[in-house]
Chains A and B, each alone.
Chain A
Amino acid sequence: MRIIQFNDIVNAVATLCLKAAYDLPPDVMGGMKDARARERSERGCAFLDQCIENANIAAAERMPICQDTGFAVYFIEMGEDVRVGGGSIYDAVNAGTARGYTEGYLRKSIVTDPLFKRRNTGDNTPAVIHLELVPGDRLSILLAPKGGGSENMSALKMFPPSAGREGVVEFVVDAVTRAGGNPCPPTIVGVGIGGTFEKVAYLAKKALLRPLGQPHPEELYAALERELLEKINASNVGPQGLGGDTTALAVHIEYFPCHIASLPVAVNLNCHAARHDRVVL
């Protein structure tokens, strides 16, 4: 059994919050530059240039890439041989989130109950924490801060199996096209297929975390990703929703076995400020 101290997790998480907010990951920056080279709309090119310049300013001046520094969503893989010394993993991650968002001048965007009080919690907690037990004695913490504008454009549908590949394509392309300029295109499109109602939403979010443009390992799904990206980018939604070739930078699909009666499909969009970072303890 390996013991990782509570405070070491708090410190690591606080640092992770800052890095994620200030530094656009290199794969996303690369995707933006590739898109800029291909884009034919003059307005679209000007916007992509602004986004690239913005990421450079944010990194150099330690400013948030986007003022919406998001809901702190964590994907944690905790080794079965790890124990947290001096507290729970959930408390440690929330304490690190509060410290990172406060000390890093990040925006606090979380309100208490969603319907009645809607009072700001003041430190961006609670975080959303997905915890998975894995073999070993390591603790891997991945943070993907999620902005509200793109999250609001999510879609989920429980199809009958007869809808098939065609039904999935139509649903995903429609969701991205109808979102228009709202989610800050060019987006990364996370698609979950299969599982259950709650599992498919998780898959769609998890799909956003794959390195940008890395295809699905199975060719049938990789081909579906290519077809979806081509159709989405033919929609002329474009950068900022003002027309052009680059509506999405990538489509990532994750799937899970499903019930004989079901074909669940979920779409989760990430804005072009697709922030994520990982620390392994």
Chain B
Amino acid sequence: MSKVLNIRMPLSDAAVETMTAGTQVLLSGVIYTARDAAHKRLCELIARGEKLPFDLNGGALYFVGPSPARPGRVIGSAGPTTSYRMDAYSPTLMEHAGLKAMIGKGNRSRAVVDAMIRYKCVYLAAAGGAAALIAKCITACEVVCYEDLGPEAVHRLEVKDLPLIVAIDCHGRNLYENPEIQ
């Protein structure tokens, strides 16, 4: 638990390599939100050979559906949702859209971990349920697409020092399966 890495978006393969399982990360820069329904639409676009509505190359997806912002606030509460529901879609986004980091909570499938190794992607755990605390690290928020999905719309977030833990690294080391990794 000693190492803390300051990481800035977007990510190169070299930056992904530095994020080893168990490392604490303070993430800054632009990330995008997406949950189940948005993932489904993004993968349908890829299947039809169409362009995505935003650039995910070297980018990160945060699995979150924030609560609405009060007037004068950037965002409402914004903690992670459970990640396994995105397992069916994540490998496609790594292969075809250049996805380099995923932020969520809970373990991932073997197929996702294999894709993370193949395409050099990292999986970061945010503090599930600490949603008001996490919102403090979000400095800007705007809807990018799929506004009709309400809380499931894709938002572009600017984050500063978002506290995360590398839960699964790009070599397949997995903190959920080996919590003793330091």
Contacts and interface: CB of A to CB of B under 8 A. Distances in A.
Interface of A: 41-43, 46-47, 50-51, 53-54, 57-58, 61-69, 105-109, 118, 120, 122, 148-149, 152, 180-184, 236, 238, 240-244, 271-273
Interface in B126-159: 127-133, 135-136, 149-152
Interface residues of B, number: 40
B79 interface: yes
8 contacts: A53-B130, A67-B131, A105-B76, A107-B66, A180-B107, A242-B176, A243-B180, A271-B129
B47 interface: no
A67 B105 contact: no
B165 interface: yes
A63 B68 contact: no
Contacts, number: 138
B84 interface: yes
A242 B175 contact: yes
A213 to B, nearest CB: 19
B106 interface: yes
Given A66-B131, A68-B65, 5 more contacts: A67-B79, A120-B149, A182-B82, A241-B107, A243-B179
A118 B77 CA distance: 23
Contacts of B129: 51, 54, 65-66, 184, 271-273
A65 B131 contact: yes
Nearest to B175: A242
Given A43-B165, A122-B150, A105 B67 contact: yes
Contact of B179 (A69, A183, A244): A244
Contacts of A46: 1
A57 B176 contact: no
B78 interface: yes
B76 to A, nearest CB: 6
B42 to A, nearest CB: 16
Nearest to B136: A57
A180 B69 CA distance: 31
A236 B82 contact: no
B64 to A, nearest CB: 7
Contacts of A184: 105, 128-129
B181 to A, nearest CB: 9
Give the most central of A62, A122, A182, A183: most B CB within 10 Å. Answer: A182
Contacts of B179: 41, 43, 236, 238, 242-244
A57 B133 CA distance: 7
